[in-house]
Amino acid sequence: MRILPNQRILSALRCPICQSRIELSEENAQGGRSLFCGGQRRHCFDISASGYVNFMAPGRTAGGDSKQAVRARTDFLNLELYRPVADALCRTVRRYIPVEDAVAVDAGCGEGYYTSLLAQSGFSCVGFDLSRFAVDAAAKRTGKAGVQVGFFGVSSVFEMPIKNDSAAAVVNVFAPCAEEEYCRVLMPGGILAVAYAGPEHLMGLKRAVYSQTRENDGRADLPKRMKCVEEVRVRFDIEVKGTENVMNLFAMTPYYWKTSVSDMEKLKSLESLTTAVDVILAIYQKEDTAADGQKKEDDGCRSH
């Protein structure tokens, strides 16, 4: 089932070329639909059969994850081993943002696992990713789940086709953090939820590959202008059964691209793997100047 953007999402979108408002066309003779802008040139963006839109400007290539990488991520996440992370994300975002009339943007949505669950919790969700293979998979996942409030587009997270001050929340799960862009699209009082690897994340996987391991460093691109209001640590152990699933997990990590063939062969001999999942969920809030008329003092994050 192809999902079309609802009115809340349409109202938040803007043309990536001229920044004009976006509208949804009527169905054509072939049953297709498009988005078009209200600018002078009426820029048009076709909605694919699966329900996503390529918002990249003409002449610009997208890039992002390959079809094989997206398939590996999809197959692994479908095992639901990361579900506690998704549940913590949805639960935490809902504590700050009421779902009624709220638009949430998943910046770097990948194949839509977290976006779909956010949408199922009540938000009108729009996800962006550089990979057309990823957003195609995300649109199909959301359609298969029967979610009516999810929509996906090919776009850089540094230049999203979203109006200023229009999103109640931006979520960023293991994706580049574009603080300036997120501040632009967030409404005053809106939140940014950044999920990144904690100290022990996938330590069991690393020990199975490398002779020497160390804890993960903190994330270098965390926001500096926005106020951090809370940190939630989600830590649990998982058992990954089957060599193919172990390799799919490995393909989701940055280690995949910098590991020797000999070290990678160690994983191919494993029929199961036990490892920690350790994720930090940091919540940042855009200053609500209308609420207090002055800059709030930064008192750091609350840790949970």
Per-residue pLDDT tens digits for 265-300:
899 999 999 999 999 999 999 987 655 444 444 455
- Percent of the chain at pLDDT exceeding 70: 93
Average pLDDT over residues 226-245: 96
pLDDT exceeds 90 at position 5:
no
Return d(Cα 131, Cα 137) in angstroms, integer: 10
Return d(Cα 265, Cα 246) in angstroms, integer: 12
Q: What are the structural domain ranges in the chain?
A: 61-287
pLDDT score at 294: 43
- Percent of the chain at pLDDT exceeding 90: 75
pLDDT exceeds 60 at position 90:
yes
Is 39 exposed, middle or buried (CB count within 10 Å of its CB: 0-12, 13-18, 19+)?
middle
pLDDT exceeds 70 at position 301:
no
Lowest-pLDDT range of 55-59, 113-117, 136-140:
55-59
Return d(Cα 202, Cα 255) in angstroms, integer: 11
Token code pair at residue 182: 């997120």
Give the right CATH number for 61-287 from 3.40.50.150, 3.40.50.720, 3.40.30.10, 3.10.28.10. 3.40.50.150
pLDDT score at 4: 82
Lowest-pLDDT range of 4-8, 52-56, 82-86, 116-120:
4-8
Q: Which residues contact 59 (CB under 8 A, 6 or more apart)?
A: none
pLDDT score at 300: 56
Rg (CA), the chain: 20
pLDDT score at 1: 63
| Digit-coded pLDDT (tens) for 136-167 | 999 999 988 888 788 999 999 999 999 999 99
Q: Which residues contact 174 (CB under 8 A, 6 or more apart)?
A: 108, 195, 196, 197
Q: Which amino acid is at 118?
A: L
pLDDT exceeds 80 at position 302:
no
Average pLDDT over residues 198-225: 93
pLDDT score at 21: 96
Task: Give 218's pLDDT tier (boundaries 50, 70, 90).
Answer: confident
Q: Do 135 and 154 touch, CB atoms closer than 8 A?
A: yes
Q: Which residues contact 17 (CB under 8 A, 6 or more apart)?
A: 37, 39, 41, 43, 57
pLDDT exceeds 80 at position 196:
yes
| Mean pLDDT score across all residues of the chain | 91
Task: Give 303's pLDDT tier (boundaries 50, 70, 90).
Answer: low
